[in-house]
Structure 1
Amino acid sequence: MVHLKQPQLSGLGRNPAASLDVLVRLSAHEAGRHGLTLHRGQLPDAVVEALLTHGGRDSAVLLYGNRVSPAMRRRIAGHPDPAIRDAHADFVRTMVERGVPMSIEDLVEAYGRPPAELAAGSDLKLRVMVAQTWRERPIVVQLALLTDPDPEVRAAATQAKDSGVPPEYYERCLADPAIRANVACHIPLTFDQFDRLLATGDQTVLHAVAGNPHLTADMVSRLQDSADPSVRVAVAYSRHVTPETRDRLLALVEAEDATGSDEAALALHWSPYEPSWLRDAPLAERLTYIDCPHAVFRRILAASRDLPEAAWQTLDEDPDVSVRRTAAHRPDTAPEVLLRLIRAHGERSHVRPLLVDHPNFPRKELRDLVDERNPRVRILALKDPELPVAQLRRFGDCEDSFMRAGVARHPNVSADLLERLLVDPEPRVAEDAAANPVLPRAWMDRIITEAGL
């Protein structure tokens, strides 16, 4: 997050080329300390000492683990001021009280006890947190959590998809209202258990059962006439229904969505269900879904890595862009396929790796994107580290601040353009300019001096 009032100081704090002297001086200013919290890698001891001096407890909260050297960890642990000495531990305890997830490593460090002891302690909220975050717990600990007297702990212990419930505990867990739904969504069910779960009348339990991948054909058949749109979608994605039944069930939900049903809209567009079983199906069976009218099946097929060339050609021309994107992440995607996708739709920044980072992407074509009308496509030209300064100037004059910020981060930015971006009215742009490692050392000194540091 950018420091709105002093973005240049904040940017300098995370600049990987900033000297030790610059970092130490920055620690005397709030904005500089803000940037230092984002500085990559271990902070030098002198910087940590300066942060403790100027930032006190607020800085000490973030000085732990690999952020600081072993020597400075010992220095903080023995600090005469308890506010600094206990800053990180107090922060973790506060987060536990508020139910904010913390890693098991943080919990062990803050409470000074091994995980098994934390899981068996008297603090309810701490037991809940351990159950949520200690994924690799031994079975003896898991069994203790499954039989914990508090339902919150039992629920936390069964939240994960692979919650480690042994078969001999299935019946007990399915009878427990606190964890029934958590368990019913992933363990093999007998028909008697299936019947009893439906008889509860609990919608959460119904949704859990509907998405259970181990349902038999008879169980799926029992769910086909459900009035619940989410259940219909789950059944439609089952391996046990015919294409005709699948089409009918999804058409019903689509019709309800068209009439304004929120439940139907959620079931269609935000459903947690998918035909995950298709991933492990034999190749011949998977290929029968290449022309399936429902994109989710084609998308899962496109995530395969063993399809014949003819299938890839079909998927590369799929009418649904999400299917084409998924197929494009295969190792041998043709350069022209990647470029065509980028030109038409840009990137999805939250999906890694990016298509422009694919080994086969024709990176020499990146600079040709500077003339694209869509700014979300045009900005990808900045992935070319040698983009000419003339093109960078065009982007630097762009109305969209995200384009100017991209120029501010670019390794080929000219000195005069970088200097202009340092005073950009958009704080994020100015901060990115100050964080650029090509920023001259003399400019760093000037920024700090002008700030009175």
Structure 2
Amino acid sequence: MASLDHPQLSGLGRNPAVPPDLLVRLAAHKAGRHGMSLRRGRLEDAVVEALLTHGDDMTAVRLHGDRISPAMRRRIAEHPDPAIRDAYGDFVRDMVDRGVTIGIDDLEEAYGRPRTELAAAPDARLRAAVARAWYGRPLSVQVGLLADPDPQVRAAATEQKKPGVPPEWRDRCLADPAVRVNVARYTPLTLDQFAQLMRSQEREVFQAVAGNPYLSAEMVARLLDVEDPLVRVTVAQSRHVDDETRDRLYALVEAEQADGSIEADVALNWNFAEPEWLYEAPLNERMTYLDCRYTIFRRVLASCHDLPAEAWHRLDNDPELAVRRAAARRPGTPSDVLERLVRSDGDVLHIRPLLVDHPNFPRHTLRTFVDEPSPNVRYLALQDPELPVTALQQLASAAEPFLRRGVARHPNITDALLEQLLSDPDPQVADDAAANSALRPTRMHRILTAAGL
């Protein structure tokens, strides 16, 4: 995050090209220290010493592990100020006390003990933290966590599908209020276990059971009368439901949505469950969903890679953008389909790889996106690392700050454009310009001198 008052300094702190002697000077300013906290890789000892001199306990929190040398780790461990000496450990322990998930390596470093010992620590909050963080724990450790006397530990141990619950522990877990909902989501159920869960009459239990991928047709049939929108939508996605029943369930939820039900709206539009069974279904069965009126089925179908050509033609022209984007991620997507989709609707920047990174995407067309009317599409021109300066100048004058930020980060930026963007009224643009490794050392010096550093 950029410093609102001193974005050039926070940006310099992130800049990988800033030499150590300038980082030492930068450490004297709060904004510079903030930017340096976001740097990747190991910090030079002299830089760490400067951070310890000018910073506080929050600065010291980020000085740990491979980020600093063994010598500086010893320096911090022996620091005369306990706030500095214990900063990282205190931070991790605070996260543990708050129930915030933190990496297992961080737990081992902060507590100075191996994960096998931490899993049996006297503090239940620490045992719960280990259960949330140690994904690959062996079954023997998992069994110990399932038998833990503290309900928060047992709950943490069952949040994820793996390592799971051994068959001999399922009855016990399904009867345990602390873990019942978690386990009901993913554990294969016998008919008796299913009936036991249904007798609970708890809404969360019903919702968890409805999403269980191992339900039999008989179990699904017994869920049809549960008057809960999320259960109805989830059951409608089951492989054991025929078209008529699916239509009826969706119609009931859509009617509730029309009457103003927030629960129904969430079930229809904010429910991330999907019919995962469809991925593994035989091709002839999957093809029957090509014309399904419910987008989620067509999107899952479009995520398969073994469909015939006629199916791809239909999916590439699907009325729903989510379906078209899913289809475009297949290995053999034609270049013209990719270009047309991106030029029309842009890309999804938080999903990697981008569509413009697809091997078949005609990357020579990226620079032509500069003249598209949509700013989201114009932004994609910046994915061309050799974008001409004239195009960068055009985007640098855009009204949208995110476009100017993209120019500020571009590897082909000129000194003149960097100078322009360093003074941009949006602090995030100025921060990104200062963080660009193309910034010349002479300009770095001038920024520090202007700040009195």
Bin the TM-score by the shorter chain.
Answer: over 0.9
Question: C-alpha distance in 2, partners of 1:223/1:295?
Answer: 23
**AA in 1 matched with 2:4:** L
Which residue is 2:422 aligned to?
A: 422
Q: How much has 1:172 moved relative to structure 2?
A: 0.6
Contact 1:421 1:433 in 2 (8 A): yes
Which residue is 2:378 aligned to?
A: 378
User: Is structure 2 residue 36 aligned with structure 1 residue 33?
Assistant: no
Question: C-alpha distance in 1, partners of 2:88/2:266?
Answer: 40
Which residue is 1:348 aligned to?
A: 348
Which residue is 1:406 aligned to?
A: 406
Question: C-alpha distance in 2, partners of 1:72/1:311?
Answer: 60
**AA in 2 matched with 1:336:** D
Contact 2:13 2:435 in 1 (8 A): yes
3-state SS of paired residue (2:378): helix
**AA in 2 matched with 1:66:** D
Question: C-alpha distance in 1, partners of 2:109/2:40?
Answer: 22
Alpha-carbon displacement from aligned partner over 1:336-376 (angstroms, at most 9, x marks no partner):
11111111111112211111111211111111111111111
Q: How does 1:144-159 map to 2 (within 5 A)?
A: 144-159=144-159
Q: How much has 1:125 moved relative to structure 2?
A: 1.3
3-state SS of paired residue (2:192): helix
Contact 2:139 2:163 in 1 (8 A): no
Question: C-alpha distance in 2, partners of 1:143/1:79?
Answer: 41
Question: C-alpha distance in 1, partners of 2:386/2:141?
Answer: 55
Alpha-carbon displacement from aligned partner over 1:179-203 (angstroms, at most 9, x marks no partner):
1111111112121211111111111
Q: How does 1:425-440 map to 2 (within 5 A)?
A: 425-440=425-440
CA RMSD in angstroms comes to 1.4
Which residue is 1:295 aligned to?
A: 295
Q: 1:272 to 1:397 in 2, by over 3 A?
A: closer
Which residue is 1:42 aligned to?
A: 42
Which residue is 2:233 aligned to?
A: 233
Which residue is 2:210 aligned to?
A: 210
Which residue is 1:12 aligned to?
A: 12
Alpha-carbon displacement from aligned partner over 1:203-237 (angstroms, at most 9, x marks no partner):
11111111111111111111112211111111111
Which residue is 2:102 aligned to?
A: 102
Q: How much has 1:247 moved relative to structure 2?
A: 1.6
Contact 2:17 2:437 in 1 (8 A): yes
Q: How much has 1:163 moved relative to structure 2?
A: 4.4
Which residue is 1:395 aligned to?
A: 395
Which residue is 2:257 aligned to?
A: 257
Question: C-alpha distance in 1, partners of 2:47/2:282?
Answer: 57
Which residue is 1:368 aligned to?
A: 368
Q: How much has 1:433 moved relative to structure 2?
A: 0.8
For normalisation by structure 2, the TM-score amounts to: 0.97
Which residue is 1:136 aligned to?
A: 136
Q: What stretches of structure 1 move > 6 A for 4+ residues in a row?
A: none
Which residue is 2:178 aligned to?
A: 178
Question: C-alpha distance in 2, partners of 1:65/1:278?
Answer: 44
3-state SS of paired residue (2:52): helix
Contact 2:135 2:162 in 1 (8 A): no
Which residue is 2:168 aligned to?
A: 168
Q: How much has 1:386 moved relative to structure 2?
A: 2.2
Q: How much has 1:273 moved relative to structure 2?
A: 2.5
Question: C-alpha distance in 2, partners of 1:412/1:224?
Answer: 59
Q: How much has 1:146 moved relative to structure 2?
A: 1.0
**AA in 1 matched with 2:181:** A
Alpha-carbon displacement from aligned partner over 1:20-73 (angstroms, at most 9, x marks no partner):
221121111111111111112222222112212221422211011221223322
Q: How much has 1:394 moved relative to structure 2?
A: 1.9
Contact 2:302 2:323 in 1 (8 A): yes
Structure 2 unaligned blocks of 5 or more? none
**AA in 1 matched with 2:312:** W
Aligned residues: 453
Q: How much has 1:411 moved relative to structure 2?
A: 2.0
Structure 1 unaligned blocks of 5 or more? none
Question: C-alpha distance in 2, partners of 1:23/1:282?
Answer: 60
Which residue is 1:192 aligned to?
A: 192
Q: How much has 1:450 moved relative to structure 2?
A: 0.9
3-state SS of paired residue (2:239): coil
Question: C-alpha distance in 2, partners of 1:338/1:309?
Answer: 16
**AA in 1 matched with 2:200:** T
3-state SS of paired residue (2:38): coil
**AA in 1 matched with 2:226:** S
3-state SS of paired residue (1:305): coil
3-state SS of paired residue (1:315): helix
User: Is structure 2 residue 307 aligned with structure 1 residue 307?
Assistant: yes
Question: C-alpha distance in 2, partners of 1:411/1:172?
Answer: 58
**AA in 2 matched with 1:203:** R
Question: C-alpha distance in 2, partners of 1:316/1:279?
Answer: 18
Question: C-alpha distance in 1, partners of 2:438/2:191?
Answer: 67
Question: C-alpha distance in 2, partners of 1:162/1:104?
Answer: 16
Q: In terms of mean alpha carbon deviation, does 364-373 or 264-273 score higher?
A: 264-273
Q: In terms of mean alpha carbon deviation, does 39-48 or 166-175 score higher?
A: 39-48
**AA in 1 matched with 2:93:** R
Contact 1:233 1:273 in 2 (8 A): no
Q: How does 1:67-146 map to 2 (within 5 A)?
A: 67-146=67-146
